[in-house]
Every structure is written in structure tokens, then in C-alpha cells.
Amino acid sequence: MTPPPGNNKGYLKIAGAIILIAIICLVIAVVMTGAFLPSSQQQVPSQNISPVSPLIPLTPSMNPSTSPSGASGTIAPVTLAGTNFAYGPAPSVWLSRVGEPDIFATDVAVISPTQLTCTFPLPASPASAGEWDIFVKNYGEQSGSKIGVFMVLDEISPPLTWDWSVDGWGDWQHDASCTGTPATKTGSCREYGPIMVDGHGEHGSEVNLVSIPTQSRVWKTFTARTGTRWNTLTFSGLLSSSSLPVARWIAIEVNGERVFYADATRSPPGNGQKFTITQSFTPANSVTVRISGGQDPTYGVSLYATQFNSLTLS
């Protein structure tokens, strides 16, 4: 039996409504499923994010208006002009020359991107004289150099003579002492001088104790003209005689380094005789000379003095 035409239209409307409802439910299900996905599975719109790169120093360069220099055997302060000197960790600065060990700067300080200061401990060697290349390396390993711009000077200063008959004692420093336990229970140990006697200087110790070491010392610092240095010492004097000359001695130090030592059985100095001692030392612009004399141990004489005639640095 065929349904009348009016009923067909009703069925179609019902079927269409059912299909529409199914589509709506499907869409809702898809949306809700996405909303509850783990965050790791959800798609997030991409953003334009660039990684942050550390600031890398630029390559330094040097353009000093004058050639820096320093005398061999001295600590040379230097100011370098240039570009791109980096703040932060101090740059490495050094001098270099073929055949010589590099000389690394100390106390490096960046004043500005165009200026830094440092000091170079220059070796006391004639071989170090002449032109050196300067290198600067920032903490980022960027380096620059200037070829042959640093000059190490090695010029001997004109001789300087201290003549006690003319100059007296001036500002020489001095002391004297006895050490140990003497064999005698009573007595004295005191400094003698420094004084001038018959046109020469004298200094030592007066000791009335037996079998005790005694020594006396004088010292003074001399400074040569800037950029020059000395390397030789000549001293003229006399040791007062001793009845035990093997125990009578003299020593000379330059900048803390002993350059001469002998007892009175040797010549120089001899026992109660005038002598002249000439010794070389490490070249230096500033020279501290220390002259010591003594008796170890004391025996039979109360005055142990050294006569000072002249001292020459050359």
C-alpha cells in the first residue's frame, strides 16, 4: 500500500531533523574532546621568539700616539690607547718577540673602551733591549696586536761616586748588633759611629764580650737617570785588624743579593790593609747597597770597624 504524498513530506522532514541533530552532536563532541586534551597535545599558535645571544666583545686594536718604553730590569707602567678594550674580566696583555719569553702585564685595568693601563716587569738582561710587539686579548678571545711598538731600553747610566771625604755620611742608614750567648758574663756591645775620621768614614761595633758574633751594617739606595741602569760596584775601604783574621769578615749586597763575601785572610780585604773590591750585579735602575762587617766570634779586640773611602756605581 503506497503512502499518500503528504506523508512522504513528513518523513523527509523528520529524517532531515535527525541528520542535523547528529551533525551538531558530532561537532560538539569533537570540540569537547579537544578542550580536554593534555596541554602537550594541544596546538599553541607559534610566536616569533628569538634566542638571546651573549654580548661578544669586539676585536681590540691599538693606536698609541707615542711608542711606550721601559728600562730593562724595572717595572714599567704603561697606558695603551686603542679601540674595543672590553670591560668585565681584564684583558690579557703581553709583549712578544721572537727568541725571547713573552712578558705578561700585571695590574691590567680598562679605563675606557679606548684606554687601558698595565705594568710590565721587564727582565734585567741586555738581550731584552729593543723593539717588542704588544698583544691584547679580550675575555671573548678576540685579540689585536701592534708590531714593534714597545721599546725596552738598556742604557748604562753615567758612573756615580760617593766619596766619604767629600760627601760624608749623608743619608746612609746603619745599625750594629751582637747575637748569641757570650763566654763572659759581663761586658757591653754597642754601635760605633758612623763618624768621620781623618777624611774617611768609619762604622762598626765596640764589644767587650768574648766569643760572641758581632756585625755592623750601613746601607743606602741610589737611583739612576730614567731609562738607564748600573751593573758594576767598586768599593774602597779597610777592615780594622784582628788577632783572629779568619773570623773577621766583610760582605756586600746589592738589592738583596750578596755579590761579595770574604774573611780577612783573603785579599781583598786583607787584615788591616786598604783594599778595592769590584763586583758586577744584576743591572738595575734603583740600587740599594748594603755593606756589612763583623767578627764571628769576637776575640781579643774591643773595636771592629770598617773604614769607608769611596763607592762607585757604573
- Per the document, the length of the chain is 314
36 within domain boundaries:
no
- Burial (Cβ within 10 Å: 0-12, 13-18, ≥19) of residue 123: middle
48 within domain boundaries:
no
The pLDDT tens digits for 174-228 are 999 998 887 776 778 999 999 999 999 999 999 988 889 999 999 999 999 877 8
The pLDDT tens digits for 103-118 are 999 999 999 999 999 9
Cell 727582565 -> residue: 123
Domain match, 164 and 275 both: yes
283 within domain boundaries:
yes
| Position 45 confidence tier, pLDDT thresholds 50, 70, 90 | very low
CA distances from 143 to 60, 92, 109, 271 (A): 6, 9, 16, 63
* Average pLDDT for 92-99: 95
For the cut 50, the answer to whether the pLDDT of residue 44 exceeds it is no
Looking at this protein, which amino acid is placed at residue 138?
Answer: N
Please choose, from the candidates 132, 63, 122, 57, the residue with its C-alpha nearest in 3D space to the C-alpha of residue 90.
Answer: 57
56 within domain boundaries:
no
Domain match, 172 and 297 both: yes
How many domains, the chain? 2
The pLDDT tens digits for 140-185 are 889 999 999 998 988 888 999 999 999 999 999 999 999 888 777 6
Mean pLDDT for all residues in the chain: 85
CATH number assigned to the domain comprising residue 188: 2.60.120.200
Domain match, 205 and 276 both: yes
Domain match, 73 and 188 both: no
Measure the CA angle with vertex 314, ends 194 and 292; round to 5°.
30
Domain match, 129 and 179 both: no
Host domain of residue 245: 160-313
Domain match, 137 and 246 both: no
What is the rounded CA–CA span in Å between residue 160 and residue 25? 112
Domain match, 137 and 182 both: no
79 within domain boundaries:
yes
Q: Which of 58-62, 106-110, 200-204, 242-246 has the lowest mean pLDDT?
A: 58-62
Please choose, from the candidates 124, 127, 146, the residue with its C-alpha nearest in 3D space to the C-alpha of residue 230.
Answer: 124
| Position 259 confidence tier, pLDDT thresholds 50, 70, 90 | very high
Please choose, from the candidates 141, 177, 123, 140, the residue with its C-alpha nearest in 3D space to the C-alpha of residue 132.
Answer: 123
The residues facing 135 across adjacent strands are 94, 145
Domain match, 148 and 182 both: no
Measure the CA angle with vertex 167, ends 285 and 293; round to 5°.
75
Please name the helix (run of DSSP H) or strand (run of DSSP E) that holds residue 16, with its range, or none: helix 5-35
DSSP assigned state of 8: H
CA distances from 175 to 103, 116, 218, 227, 304 (A): 39, 44, 7, 33, 13
For residue 40, what pLDDT is reported? 46
Contact call for residues 83 and 59 (beta carbons, < 8 A): no
CA 133 to chain centre: 19
Domain match, 291 and 215 both: yes
Please name the helix (run of DSSP H) or strand (run of DSSP E) that holds residue 166, with its range, or none: helix 164-167
Domain match, 147 and 175 both: no
Contact call for residues 307 and 238 (beta carbons, < 8 A): yes
